[in-house]
Amino acid sequence: MAVEPAEKSQERPSARGFAMRRPPRRSRRRILWRSGLAMLVVAILVGGGWWLLNAPQFAVERVESGAYRFTSREQLQQVLSVFLGRNIWRVSSGEVTDAMTELPWVRDLRVIRRLPATIEVDFREWRPLLVVAPVDGGGQRAEEPPQVLVADGRVLPFPDHLALAGLPVLVGVSWAGGNDSGDRRLDVQHAGAVLDLVSAMEDTGLESVSPVDFLIAKAEGFTIVLQAGGGNLLVGREEFASRLNRYMAARQHLARGLDVDLRFADRITCKPAASGGP
């Protein structure tokens, strides 16, 4: 008996297998509520910002600074007084910094706001390194108020309200205006070498054992004149640190009052000093 295969079902698949959930309808009331809340937050921020920038509580009443020595008090007050009465949030650190750079002794600074109405300006000053005795065109020392060298190469008038410290005197160089601001600087021929020599004197501790009277610039290089007839150190134009270290290692074996020539590698040449001054 033959059995015929049953016919395939012609039923269509259930539509449920292809059904998608409809997104819930957004409540118009919820949309309006959220929009209103966002607008309220923006209004509060804008209003708060306007209040901070205009409220009299934030008008600057005090501008304070840390300790300082070389800067004139009158100049400092003149520069900082322009910020009094202004809104503390409208005074930028850059604005204060730009104003303070007009003061020649100011080296670097930090500006701090102390709410509600105080600005603190904490700054460091340049340190005088040498007294500079310039020469005029005829080779004679020019009569000038005391001028001192600082570490960025400028030559500044020493403040009138201070007693001039016992700094070494730099002899045999000239200086002139160096830029549009009128800063005086050492001549290009000597500027870098002088700063290198001062740095070498500090690094080797020379003045802690042998105080210096003069640094003399000559054609053959620099000579360091020690105080109280201690002698003269000929250090040339370069390698100051190594030459001074050589002197420091041998100084206890050297008599006072000698011309000590340190310009030749690995040796020290001595002879009686011709003169103890410039």
Give yes or no for a contact between 244 and 260, defined as CB atoms under 8 angstroms apart.
no
Query: Which tokens sit at 65?
Result: 């600074």
Reported as a single tens digit per residue, the pLDDT across 81-116 is: 999 999 998 899 999 999 999 899 999 999 999 999
Mean pLDDT score, 160-166: 87
**53 token code pair:** 């920038």
Token look-up 């460091």 returns 124
pLDDT for the residue numbered 30: 75
pLDDT in tens, 180-237: 556 889 988 899 999 999 999 999 999 999 999 999 999 999 999 999 999 999 999 9
Quick one: pLDDT band at residue 24, thresholds 50, 70, 90? low
**pLDDT tens figures, 232-277:** 999 999 999 999 999 999 999 999 999 999 999 889 999 998 754 5
Q: What is the mean pLDDT of residues 66-75?
A: 92
Give DSSP secondary structure letters for 77-91. HHHHGGGTTSBTTTS
Strands ordered across the beta sheet of 62-65: 62-65, 118-125, 106-114
Residue with tokens 């007839």: 229
56-125 carries CATH number 3.30.360.10: no
CB-neighbour burial class of residue 95 (10 A; exposed 0-12, middle 13-18, buried 19+): middle
Segments of 10-143 assigned E as strands: 62-65, 106-114, 118-125, 130-133
- Rounded to whole angstroms, the Cα distance separating 217 from 221 reads 6
pLDDT in the model for residue 117:
92
What class, spelled out in words, does domain 130-272 have in CATH?
alpha beta
Contacts of 6 (CB under 8 A, 6+ apart): none
In the chain, list all ranges with CATH 3.40.50: 130-272
Mean pLDDT (the chain) is 84
The tokens 């009686």 sit on which residue? 272
Confidence class for position 164, pLDDT limits 50, 70, 90: confident
Neighbours of 124 (CB within 10 A): 13
Task: Please state, in angstroms and as integers, the Cα–Cα distance from residue 100 to each residue in 65, 81, 106, 132, 161, following that order.
Answer: 11, 12, 7, 25, 20
Which pair of tokens denotes residue 231?
A: 């002698």
Q: How far is CA 44 from CA 48, 51, 247, in A?
A: 6, 10, 73
In the chain, residues under CATH classification 3.10.20.310 are 56-125
At 58 the pLDDT is 84
